Structure 1
């Protein structure tokens, strides 16, 4: 399929998804599903996940598994809170980036220089992050310090200023035409208006900059000589070495940049909440890693995965009752999937897959029935289950995506110059 053809398919998929969301909204009566407030919350919550995922993408494309993203995000949140209350949101952003980069540097030293197993090093970073930040809080935020007098505690920093928000011209600037159209609750039209308004009205400037990092990453990794060298280090570092690539330096750069992205995601969490709070990341580093895997180690797929997780998180924050609409939404998606597979029943590809494909189809059919039954019988989920929604969705998405994944060939392999495995 040509690149133009892929873009057309992507646009059709987005249009079909919006149509499906509108249908679910009308059937369930949950107008909040496509409200501008939900979409704005989803955007704010998706960006830290996407940045963590971008961090994982940079490291793993260079052949270094980075499950320490959570710990790097934690470092980013603390340093952002510490710098932000003293010098403002921009300082918080820079400090969070540097804090995450420090975690990335530790991971690079362990894995690239000393050859420590990547998983073990990542787990160590995840343990070190909360420990280091608690120690720093006890030292710098204790009673009698300037930070404590400004409102800090052992588990929280003083408040920092709010960043600038902007509205896009012609869409959300001036007369609120999108808001009026959204309030009509017309099928599809009000849904499109709500989505556009949520994405363009009073948007954090730092969120816009973070979104731009997605296409920038694609350009750097897939359209520059540096990106080609970095990806070659993740596919076959010994072949890259034979062509004159300094694989050690490339891996170091990639892992430090990886940590910086994760720290940036942590900083945005602090800036959105206007202060640092212990445990603020709430597993978003792991969800970012899952979004990267779902996206098949590519920025576009990563953006889709982060949007999905951010939307689930934003919906449960805005309305716990609307979460049950996911049952109907999931059932309809499975039904569409079944229809697509049934159309291919006579194709050679389906016959080649044999029993395995029929088993997947049977599981999809059973899942459709179960989800429809849950939607018809469950009025409201317990709060504990509602808060678990993003994490359960993470597992389900990874299970669905596992059929088509292809990680870099040398991902996780310990590299030593001249010692090809």
Structure 2
């Protein structure tokens, strides 16, 4: 055996390059997705899948989910699991309605909703950070408490008010919507021509530039703001260090308890804003149970986004879009979406085979692509029962497909006591 043979055996096999998502790749991905959706629209005739109305509805439905996901991000980056997002959203819905009605301004309701959610976050922080209660148990308790407290407060406050009752509030003053002037009519006309790709692009632009609530704009701006604070400031570095290694952070002088408290309270405030959006903007009225599990879907969007602001925003848009699709055209649009899913699975199969060289995984993905395409070609519509379940099914599928690339903060959910050795 020669020296060359020995060195060849000793040398490690070259590892596959780690995929890094840049804004250029993300833009190309969005364009490719739009092409697939345009193709599905032309083939199926389901023109609503890229219409301005669907896009606008998707953004509106994504906002509360995104705010809840952003709240979960703040909390879990500090090492505290926040299952109580749903309860904090519930408190935000009631407080948002109460604030808007009491002070006669919807923006007062927005602030009140944030305060209501922050109170839930403060209670969660006291239980988990100070008293060491299990994070899951505390979160479930917060959700149950939010449901009970809002029921009691509705009977106490809204009963006797005109239009109010035990399960709902009177009509809340609306928040203004804005539009980019001069482009609404041309975009609407171009979208109405149903041309391949051009009309789809016009529909998307119409949905994001016309009749957009000011609250929606504020919510969208919170995503880059959170990224800047958590990844570009010393404050964010200290906060994230509490979620990765609180013992090491403490050894460097970081007040771990304080940063955990701040993160969980901000988490509750963001979830409360999501609840206030539901009562003030989405419905214009508070109704009991109107969160509909969006706090839990927001938690799924955060996990899908790999605990990153950009990823969770994409997850929230995905869930909001599927919800909007089943609300507007039901089975017809969801059936057209099956073709898009088949094309996406086929593209992912090629990526696994060529780039990652994972033959077995590519084979499984290819089989699923063929099955979805077979369902699409052999049916004309989707049953109504399946259509209403689409957002929840999307949550399960996305989490199962994304599970292999996820990396949660190292100390997320782990108990911490000041001065502990490990």
For Structure 1 versus Structure 2, the TM-score category normalised by the shorter chain is over 0.9
Counterpart CA distance in 2 for 1:45 and 1:207 is: 10
Please give the secondary structure, in 1, of the residue aligned with 2:288. coil
Q: 1:300-319 alignment to 2 at 5 Å? A: 300-319=310-329
1:5–1:395 Cα change, 3 Å: closer
Cα deviation, 1:323-354, whole Å, max 9, x if unaligned, reads: 1122111111100011112224xxxx63xxxx
RMSD, aligned CA: 1.7
Structure 1 unaligned spans of 5+: 351-356
2:270 aligned with 1:269: no
Equivalent residues in 2 for 1:316-335 (5 A)?
A: 316-320=326-330, 321-335=332-346
Deviation at 1:126, TM superposition (A): 1.4
Deviation at 1:359, TM superposition (A): 3.9
Structure 2 counterpart of 1:354: none
* Local SS of the residue matching 1:414: coil
| CA-CA distance at 1:167 after TM superposition | 0.6
* Runs of 4 or more above 4 Å deviation: 1-5
Aligned pair 1:281/2:291, yes or no?
Answer: yes
Q: Which residue of 2 aligns with 1:83?
A: 99
Alignment gaps of 5+ in structure 2: 1-16
Q: Is the 8 A contact 2:353 2:359 kept in 1?
A: no
- State the partner residue of 1:353: none
1:359-396 per-position Cα deviation (integer Å, ceiling 9, x unaligned): 43232122112211221233333323211110110000
Distance 1:2 1:293 in 2: 20
Match of 1:192 among 190, 201, 224: 201
SS of equivalent to 2:39: helix
Distance 1:137 1:234 in 2: 37
Quick check: 1:126 aligned with 2:126?
no
Distance in 1 of aligned mates of 2:349 and 2:382:
27
> 2:334 and 2:144 mapped to 1: Cα distance?
32
Matched, 1:161 2:173: yes
Matches within 5 A, 1:54-203: 54-86=70-102, 87-142=104-159, 145=160, 147=161, 150-169=162-181, 171-172=183-184, 176-203=185-212
User: Are 1:223 and 2:241 matched, yes or no?
Assistant: no
Q: Distance in 2 between matches of 1:238 and 1:166?
A: 48
Structure-1 residue corresponding to 2:10:
none
Deviates more, 1:100-109 or 1:85-94: 85-94
| SS in structure 2 at match of 1:402 | helix
What's 2:217 paired with?
A: 208
Counterpart Cα distance in 2 of 1:3 and 1:373: 31
Q: Distance in 2 between matches of 1:210 and 1:2?
A: 32
Residue 63 of structure 1, CA deviation: 0.3
Q: Which residue number corresponds to residue 299 of structure 1? A: 309
Structure 1 window deviating more from structure 2 (359-368 vs 320-329): it is 359-368
Distance in 2, Cα, partners of 1:211 & 1:65: 23
Q: 1:317 to 1:255 in 2, by over 3 A?
A: same
TM-score by length of 2: 0.93
Shift of 1:84: 1.8
How many residue pairs were aligned? 403
Based on CA coordinates, which of the two structures has the bigger radius of gyration? Answer: 2
Q: Do structure 1's residue 20 and structure 2's residue 42 form an aligned pair?
A: no
Alignment-derived partner of residue 269 in structure 2: 260
**3-state SS of the aligned residue for 2:404?**
coil
Q: Distance in 1 between matches of 2:381 and 2:233?
A: 51
Distance 2:353 2:254 in 1: 48
Q: Aligned match of 2:242 in 230, 233, 237?
A: 233
Partner Cα distance (2:131, 2:261) in 1: 12
